[in-house]
Structure 1
Amino acid sequence: MLKKVKRPTLYGPDNNKDQSEERDNNMMNLANFDEKETDEKTERNFAFNLRRKISNIFPVEALNLYNLLPPSVDTPSISEGVVDLTISDCTLNVETYGKYQGLKKAIIKFFDEEGQVLTQTFYLGQTNTNFVKFINGVLGEIPEGEFSLNTLKGRKIRAFLYHNYTNEGKCYVNIATCEPVE
């Protein structure tokens, strides 16, 4: 066990002596933890005390999360989670305007068991790992050589969907992962 030694103040001149000494003592108490047992209860108590002591040293500012929301937020019709989808259409064209102008754009359309439509768009620059990951998930492998999107039509997949919101409150439903369903 470490011996307590009076250290010089870590936080500025002695005019904040009480506050500085309290912080120094908290820092020393953190350093003087005596590991008696390593069972779960002791570890939980240590973690709780450590968080409490650190919060005394580094106070946390509180946030009002409602102030972070935009005036309106989209509510998507397809919920997050695992859903079975069928690929209904695939197109490949070139984007004609905006920040993706000149890039190939793969648009994959799906429908779920309730008939709700989902569209996933991939902009294909020189590389696009997400598109390759998606194709690998649909087919179970990455095809060699040339590949036609038309081979995807009619395929059934099990996808994990998640919602991604813009700062303006617009929601995009995205496929995180997928696998073929036979």
Structure 2
Amino acid sequence: MINNIDTVKDMFPGRTVIDKIDLYELVSGELKNPDYPEGDTPLSILKIESEEMYGKNLGNIIIKISFEDEVGNRFNQVYILKNGKNNNFAKFIFNALGYEPEGQFSINDLVGKKIMATISHFYNEQGLGYANIAFCRPA
């Protein structure tokens, strides 16, 4: 698979695209960690909500999944379906079920399902952190 760095290297042979970095210059603001810790944790799917978006995102659908761990900590994961598609949401479903369902599938069938999830933190440009499920499998 060719990525952008490979393309730049081909265009400018012998030149290094990036060599040294100052780690603190990469940070665009003060990082604020999310309340939910990183790592592996068992979760239950409590609720799945979906609604159509408006304005410039008209026609897109937002899906919010609410999770709870064994001690009652909760967080949400959000997926946006653009033109009815989102590869990350499909991968989440495949992983949570442990198989690929055939044909149509009701996302509400996931409610009550227990999964083992790997939580990672991702940060926006302002440094605000979000807990996200990087990987999951049936518990």
**TM-score with structure 2 setting the length:** 0.76
Measure, in 1, the Cα distance between the counterparts of 2:90 and 2:21. 39
Deviation for aligned residue 1:164? 0.8
Counting aligned pairs with the same residue, the percent is 36
Aligned partner of 2:66 in structure 1 is 109
Structure 2 counterpart of 1:72, one-letter code:
E
Residue aligning to 1:120: 77
Distance 1:132 1:62, change over 3 A: closer
**What SS does structure 2 have at the residue aligned with 1:102?**
coil
In structure 2, stretches of 5+ residues that fail to align are: 1-15
The Cα offsets for residues 95-117 of structure 1, whole Å up to 9 and x where unpaired, read as 1245x332011111101122111
Contact 1:132–1:142 (Cα < 8 Å) also in 2: no
* Aligned alpha-carbon RMSD (Å): 2.1
* Deviation sequence 1:3-61 (CA, Å, 0-9, x none): xxxxxxxxxxxxxxxxxxxxxxxxxxxxxxxxxxxxxxxxxxxxxxxxxxxxxxx8x97
Q: What is aligned with 2:103? A: 145
Q: Distance in 1 between matches of 2:65 and 2:53?
A: 15
- In structure 1, the partner of 2:128 is 170
Which portions of structure 1, spanning 4 or more consecutive aligned residues, are displaced by more than 6 angstroms?
none
Q: Quick check: which has more Rg, 1 or 2?
A: 1
Greater helix share, 1 or 2?
A: 1
Change (3 A) 1:125 1:71: closer
CA contact under 8 A between 2:29 and 2:125: conserved in structure 1? Answer: no
Q: Tell me the distance in 1 between the aligned counterparts of 2:25 and 2:104.
A: 50
| Structure 1 gaps, min length 5 | 1-57
